[in-house]
Structure 1
Amino acid sequence: MESKVLLDLKNVNKVFGQNHVLKDINLQIERGKFITFLGPSGCGKTTLLRSIAGFYTVDQGEVWIDGKIVNDLPPYKRGTPMVFQEYALFPHMTVFDNVAYGLDIKKVPEAEVQQRVQAALTQVKLTGLEERYPHQMSGGQQQRVAMARALVMNSPIILLDEPLSNLDAKLREEVRVELRNIQQDLGLTVIYVTHDQLEALSMSDYIVVFNRGRIDQYGTPHDIYYKPRTRYVADFIGTTNFIEGVVERQDGNTANVVYGKGQKVAIPTEGSWSPGEKVILSVRPESLRLNPAETLDFHMKGKVQASMFLGEKERYYIMDDEGKEWIIDAYDIGQTSFDGEVTFAAKADKLHIIQYDEGEE
């Protein structure tokens, strides 16, 4: 029976000189999933992708693909075609020849090459452009050629290294949808590297959040956004508000937390918290309500410092009584605007408890 796990990374480490880039990476990736490696520049995400592809040799640990250890295999024997940020197309070759290059290297019969190249070009909507050269194509079309070159190899896994970063915003969104559709239609396993949180949230089945060479969290986009395990993850993914609190007690799956000027809130939690433990509460700007008509579980008072109209929402910057700034998004408020002293509040299930880390500010 075929294993669900296609890629298995075991205790992977990579060092460049004095720089320990990958630190004890352990990760299992299932077949047919769209996985995004997410994090800022220098966090190790591209190094790990290139280590999977075989362009880098890991200094410690094992890389398993489809049940086989591949540490000693060169890139062309791993079955991990890669789409690069700069596309890496051959300028002197036509679209057809660029896409067929990997098949020619493997000495695939000509009739099969024709069939597979045409199928790949159809999948990326480039039929009829076989004889064009890269310089005759737009950035979006070049990106599709690079994708077709990966698809034509019929590999179970495809690696994408920030392939949309050179496209403008509108085209990036269009290609993003196309990539996701292709992945789902063909049942491919895709590993996608980006520093763009919106790309990660909108395309992925699972997201791997990197922090200085380590994996801080691996989970669904919903879990990463609403249930971050660390302050780093909560702060890196979108915008959030933090406030310190102290656990009074925990009753089953509910933690009673004291915050602000002695206010208390009972928060649903999957964690285990000790009485007296210092914690961080995270709440997203869209989860807070300004001057709500009903009484909500979590509530604070403050003064509007500034606001910004962003089309579908108005973003407010509010200073609370303790001198801390909050960001609150108000949607669909029509002509209503808030000014001066306000109350802001949220339901308890919109708050998330994060372990307090003295060194993480």
Structure 2
Amino acid sequence: MMSTQVLLDLKNVNKVFGTNHVLKQIDLQIERGKFITFLGPSGCGKTTLLRSIAGFYTIDEGEIWIDGKLVNDLPPYKRGTPMVFQEYALFPHMTVFDNVAYGLDIQKRPEAEVQERVQAALAKVKLTGLEERYPHQMSGGQQQRVAMARALVMNSPIILLDEPLSNLDAKLREEVRVELRAIQQELGLTVIYVTHDQLEALSMSDYIVVFNKGAIDQYGTPHEIYYKPRTRYVADFIGTTNFVEATVKEVSGPEATVEYGINGHTVKVSTSEQVAVGEQVLLSIRPESLRINQPEAGDFTIRAVVKSSMFLGEKERYFLSGYNGTEWIVDAYDIGQTSFEGNVDIRAAADKIHLIKMAD
């Protein structure tokens, strides 16, 4: 029996367009009141899955359960899954009020109820007083809020957002991002949000679903996705990282001693993966976890040569060359006027190193 905390349950969902297998055996459970982000590059299947949940696409195999009900055969307007589109899809000839009321009018709700619910939805997105404006009289950010209010007014258990901020400039996008998250948390909404923007996903989500060629590579919290990626693909797609090939020398419970580099250095790292002695693995180390010429910075160490650097305000980003020409990226924060040149040591603490199985 499905847990009452699970609002959306996807079982073995498959979708094929022609010869393109777009969704491959998707199994996913989403809890009530969470902000979930579908993340991945263009063509990875995230929008196809969102539209399949909404009912705009019919899946070829599998089951979609919403609030304990199998919805495979239900049309979109009976699923309770309002969607906010990338281009907002507002009716240009309708006022803000009428745009927001549209779904309630389709349901033939009483006029008094429509008035009350529309005003409440507009208040939630800070658009009270703009009821009689038309979309062309509003900024991109205001139009985005109208689209959100149109979804909120339906009092649905789940709201779907398809890259809704991509048409906004960077500053406004950040402002609306904060507002969206605040609305979701205040109202306890269940939101599924599609984006290819890693920063958006990390900053807004309770959980992130990382898509890779139609399949789910990892489902976890932002911290898990960033610091404990399960695959090389996830580690590489989310932010910037350094990869080091290593060999497992010893396994002791949740810890593995691995050998790396040309001089046979070893470091003991924690891992939740099942690894065997002699197995080839990858170590993932984020640029901000590395230190230059700091002997006390950790047990992992590599000799490298500084090739170039880039000043990014709060940090200096260094590009280095290590053994066998391996490339390294190190972020140095708050170093004042200090700069590094020539041969250096780069180090990392063992608890900043994440082990990834090669097989993945």
Cα 1:251–1:137 shift into 2, 3 Å: same
Return the alpha-carbon distance in structure 1 between the equivalents of residues 115 and 342 of structure 2. Answer: 69
- Residue in structure 2 matched with residue 278 of structure 1 by the alignment: 280
Return the alpha-carbon distance in structure 2 between the equivalents of residues 104 and 273 of structure 1. Answer: 59
Structure 2 counterpart of 1:78, which letter?
R
Among 304, 312, 315, the residue aligned to 1:313: 315
Q: Unaligned regions of 5+ residues in structure 2, if any?
A: none
1:284-335 Cα offsets, whole Å, 9 max, x none, are: 0000000004162100011000000000000000001221110000000011
Cα offset, 1:271, TM superposition: 1.6
Contact kept, 8 Å, 2:291 with 2:297, in 1: the verdict is: no
Cα offset, 1:252, TM superposition: 1.2
- Residue in structure 2 matched with residue 6 of structure 1 by the alignment: 7
- Residue in structure 1 matched with residue 65 of structure 2 by the alignment: 64
1:193-250 Cα offsets, whole Å, 9 max, x none, are: 0000000000000000000000000000000000000000000000000010000011
Return the alpha-carbon distance in structure 2 between the equivalents of residues 296 and 221 of structure 1. Answer: 25
Return the alpha-carbon distance in structure 1 between the equivalents of residues 11 and 33 of structure 2. Answer: 20
Return the alpha-carbon distance in structure 2 between the equivalents of residues 270 and 292 of structure 1. Answer: 29
Return the alpha-carbon distance in structure 2 between the equivalents of residues 296 and 178 of structure 1. Answer: 40
- Residue in structure 2 matched with residue 226 of structure 1 by the alignment: 227
After TM superposition, list the pairs within 5 Å mapping 1:158-237 onto structure 2.
Answer: 158-237=159-238
**SS in structure 2 at match of 1:322:** helix
Structure 2 counterpart of 1:30, which letter?
E
The reply on whether 1:20 has 2:21 as its aligned counterpart is yes
Return the alpha-carbon distance in structure 2 between the equivalents of residues 54 and 272 of structure 1. Answer: 40
Return the alpha-carbon distance in structure 2 between the equivalents of residues 55 and 293 of structure 1. Answer: 58
Q: CA RMSD in A?
A: 1.0
Cα offset, 1:2, TM superposition: 7.5
**SS in structure 2 at match of 1:258:** strand
Q: 4+ residue runs of structure 1 moved beyond 4 angstroms?
A: none
**SS in structure 1 at match of 2:229:** coil
Among 278, 287, 290, the residue aligned to 1:288: 290
Structure 2 counterpart of 1:278, which letter?
Q
Structure 2 counterpart of 1:133, which letter?
Y
- Residue in structure 2 matched with residue 91 of structure 1 by the alignment: 92
Does 289-298 or 204-213 show the bigger shift? 289-298
Cα 1:339–1:157 shift into 2, 3 Å: same
Does 66-75 or 316-325 show the bigger shift? 316-325
Structure 2 counterpart of 1:96, which letter?
F
Q: Unaligned regions of 5+ residues in structure 1, if any?
A: none
Return the alpha-carbon distance in structure 2 between the equivalents of residues 172 and 115 of structure 1. Answer: 29
Return the alpha-carbon distance in structure 1 between the equivalents of residues 207 and 332 of structure 2. Answer: 29
Contact kept, 8 Å, 2:297 with 2:348, in 1: the verdict is: no
Cα 1:5–1:306 shift into 2, 3 Å: same
TM-score normalised by L of structure 1: 0.98
